[in-house]
A and B are shown apart, each in its own frame.
Chain A
């Protein structure tokens, strides 16, 4: 394809100089000929070598897909922009309340606690058609999808997504008066279900909805503090912060001395806080008069989203 594309590389100059373009096939010579008839009687002929190969036909049928969605390409393009360019796979799901979500796919549990998880929710009314099995979700390659989106956006065409159960291919279609595009991608099959076993009709569950989570890290903190002297099994490993082995008990004056020597030339005056010299105000850490802990009578809920 590269050699074919190179003929049309510079669109602006083509538009200015080319009158007509002739494409013909010379099967005996195994050549695809592209002839550009330009201004001033100039003709550029490109002879591209080709090799015949077996025809590959993907077997798919959009009619057999349980779910479909249709949206302007722009909406989907705006949605994927929030995911990093290097992200390989994305999970599309039909959530509660008619929301369609896109989430970056994270391979295993260990990675989940280290990687940032991004989720975007689109409301049902952003789509032109929504006919999805509730709770359904599929995971497919984002990179390929992005490529199709770029094309769809440029041609200003709506994109239809047909999908079924995880493992069955997802089919993206674009059509218009002059062309019809089908992009078929494999989806990840749901071999290890993370929460519940798949229901009878093969619909698997989306990752837990974002609404119910614990705001409160009190229990986590308590676990952390108590596990200081025993490697507590209950504390989940923190992503970047390894649980350090406790320091042997040091007497306080010893510690103070160590810190003073840090970075100071011996025999120098006591440390200065830069604020106190530069701006003339000194801020002591921990501040005066902190309000006593308020008893939380009602948990604040965040039902807005």
Chain B
């Protein structure tokens, strides 16, 4: 089982660092799955996470100049690692002017992801900073826990408002309440509501647009034949929503959410070469 990768281009390095910073804000510990073409950062829904789950997918070719991996066996050509993304974020933080960043899976005292940053220096040889990030190797028998989550059968799918605006609204609402209700309909309208004993606040968004989802032949999704004005709603933990919004460092190309009434809200944030899906379950 081997993994080696290298980033030489500074723009790619910055982009990768930003992705890692976003992941670090969403999960204290997560699973990194490596295949020969992609990287996945996965958080599976456990009670410890408050039931949220995350699936972030990157095409390695868009970030790495060199990328070689060899899984456990030919027919299982993947590597699943558990790590603390904050460590990776810190390792990359001071690599902003690096000549090259190399990553490698090693096993000195324990399995580690070794990040070696080659920095320019005035002397004849470059300065090298190495960060050994401890990782947990996830055995094959547990890989099933980390499969890609399916799109839930949602009642309403709607594009999100400008994230910056949504973030500042949610941040202020967070001071008043622990839970927030997201409701939306198929006419492009979304409301964010909080209600406490003393006050209730609602922010209305209009003309957001509803993404077109092609339905599979023969199946009747909950969204079809639905009254356009009728709102699907879910009450979720406001801190989880705020974490998601605060973690975004770059504006996504597309941002939307799928609401399954009273069950779960599925957020999809798409950038050119990274896609992030985040599931926040509804509170009882």
Q: Give residues in A with beta carbon < 8 Å to B.
A: 79, 81-82, 84, 109, 112-123, 125-126, 208, 210, 213-218, 220-221, 224-225, 228, 236, 238-241, 244, 246, 263-265, 268-274, 277-278, 280, 285-287, 290-293, 302, 305
Q: Which residue of A lies closest to B281 (CB)?
A: A263
B73 touching A277 by the CB < 8 A rule? Answer: no
Q: Which residues of B contact A (CB under 8 A)?
A: 1-2, 29, 35, 37, 70, 72-77, 82-84, 87, 90-91, 94, 104-111, 116, 118, 121-125, 127-142, 147-153, 211, 213-216, 219-222, 260, 263-264, 268, 277, 279
Q: Which of B91, B111, B132, B260 contacts A238 (CB 8 A)?
A: B111
**Contact for B108 among A81, A208, A240, A271, CB less than 8 A:** A208
- The answer to whether B109 touches A224 (Cβ under 8 A) is no
What distance in Å separates the Cβ of A132 from its nearest Cβ neighbour in chain B?
17
Q: Are B141 and A228 in contact (CB under 8 A)?
A: yes
| Contact A240 B29, beta carbon cutoff 8 Å | yes
Judge whether A120 and B129 touch: CB under 8 Å.
yes
Q: Contacts A82-B94, A117-B132, A217-B107; is A290 near B75 (CB within 8 Å)?
A: yes
* Bound: A1/B211 CA distance, A: 64
Choose from A118, A264, A290 the contact partner of B91 (Cβ within 8 Å).
A118
Contact A240-B83, Cβ < 8 Å, known A214-B107, A217-B111, A290-B77: yes
Which listed residue, B77, B110, B127, B153, touches A268 by the CB 8 Å rule? Answer: B153
Check A225 against B140 for contact (C-beta < 8 Å): yes
Query: How long is the Cα–Cα vector from A280 to B213 in the complex, in angstroms?
Result: 10
Partner among B1, B91, B151, B260 whose Cβ is within 8 Å of the Cβ of A116: B91
Contact B128 A241 (CB under 8 A): no
The dominant DSSP class at the A interface is loop
Q: Would B110 and A113 count as touching, CB distance under 8 A? A: yes
Q: Tell me, rounded to whole Å, the shortest Cβ–Cβ distance linking A213 to chain B.
A: 4
What are the 10 tightest A-B residue pairs by CB atom distance, in nearest-first order? A241-B136, A238-B136, A271-B150, A269-B219, A239-B134, A113-B110, A213-B108, A125-B123, A241-B82, A274-B151
Judging by beta carbons under 8 Å apart, are A239 and B135 in contact? yes
Tell which of B110, B118, B139 touches A224, judged by Cβ atoms closer than 8 Å: B139
The reply to whether A264 and B108 contact each other, CB–CB distance below 8 Å, is: no
Closest Cβ–Cβ distance, residue B216 to chain A (whole Å):
6
Contact status B129-A82, CB under 8 Å: yes
Query: Would you list 12 pairs from A and B whose C-beta atoms are within 8 A, ordered by A residue?
Result: A116-B133, A118-B131, A214-B108, A215-B104, A221-B72, A238-B134, A239-B84, A240-B84, A241-B136, A244-B142, A277-B215, A278-B211
**A126 with B106, Cβ < 8 A, contacts A264-B152, A305-B128 known:** no
